[in-house]
């Protein structure tokens, strides 16, 4: 998975978007070669987004593969009139990653309830709670270093699960403005959270 990641510079971004649109339309008609090209084009951004949301490398690779398989199966649902293929793919990716995080959280809570019913503490429960508390506090501190507008956009997208378009509608702002806020906010968060490692 990591070997297929590509980085596109700003000059290539528009071309990549157009290529993704054309390729996804061809994938919808069952074109396997188009799927191979699309896979090479979007696997890096898909994995990167999943990794930021899920955090666990092994699970991130699994979720990214699920998303890419879903592209093959549901490419016909893509409507070029409603936005770019890359936006559609990343929205699908974000939703799948958030679902995985929620599912893992629910499974952990179930295990904890079962352990409490059995009268035994969950394995390393105290250590896990302390670590989770420290991580939450670090993220909270980093979020407070963002501007109010960046923090609001990031919170709506990553904690409440809204797409960029939904965030823009909710805040009554142009989509481009929201994307810029998100990009700048996520860059600042990444720099701040880098100190936690």
In the prediction, which pLDDT does 123 show? 57
Q: What is the model's pTM?
A: 0.52
Taking residues 98-106, report their average pLDDT: 90
- The average pLDDT across 17-37 equals 92
What pLDDT is stored for residue 76 in this prediction? 94
pLDDT in tens, 111-153: 888 777 776 555 566 667 666 666 777 777 887 888 888 888 8
- Locus of tokens 């528009």: 14
10: part of which helix (H) or strand (E)? helix 10-28
Between residues 166 and 68, which one has the greater pLDDT? 68
At 71 the pLDDT is 92
What's the average model confidence in pLDDT over 38-66?
91
pLDDT of residue 3: 43
Quote the pLDDT of residue 141.
Answer: 83
pLDDT band at 197 (very low <50, low <70, confident <90, very high): very low
């Amino acid at each position: 998975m990591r070997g297929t990641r590509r980085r596109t510079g700003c000059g290539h971004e528009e071309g990549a978007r157009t290529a993704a649109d054309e390729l996804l339309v061809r994938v919808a008609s069952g074109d396997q070669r188009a799927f191979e090209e699309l896979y090479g084009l979007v696997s890096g951004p898909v994995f990167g987004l999943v990794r930021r949301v899920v955090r666990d490398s092994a699970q991130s690779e699994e979720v990214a593969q699920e998303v890419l398989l879903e592209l093959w199966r549901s490419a016909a649902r893509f409507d070029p009139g409603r936005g770019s293929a890359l936006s559609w793919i990343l929205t699908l990716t974000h939703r799948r990653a958030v679902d995985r995080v929620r599912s893992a959280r629910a499974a952990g809570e179930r295990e904890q309830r079962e352990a409490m019913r059995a009268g035994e503490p969950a394995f390393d429960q105290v250590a896990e709670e302390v670590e989770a508390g420290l991580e939450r506090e670090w993220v909270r501190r980093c979020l407070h270093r963002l501007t109010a507008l960046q923090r609001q956009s990031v919170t709506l997208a990553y904690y409440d699960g809204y797409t960029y378009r939904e965030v823009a509608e909710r805040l009554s702002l142009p989509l481009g403005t929201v994307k810029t806020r998100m990009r700048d906010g996520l860059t600042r968060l990444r720099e701040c959270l880098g100190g936690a490692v």
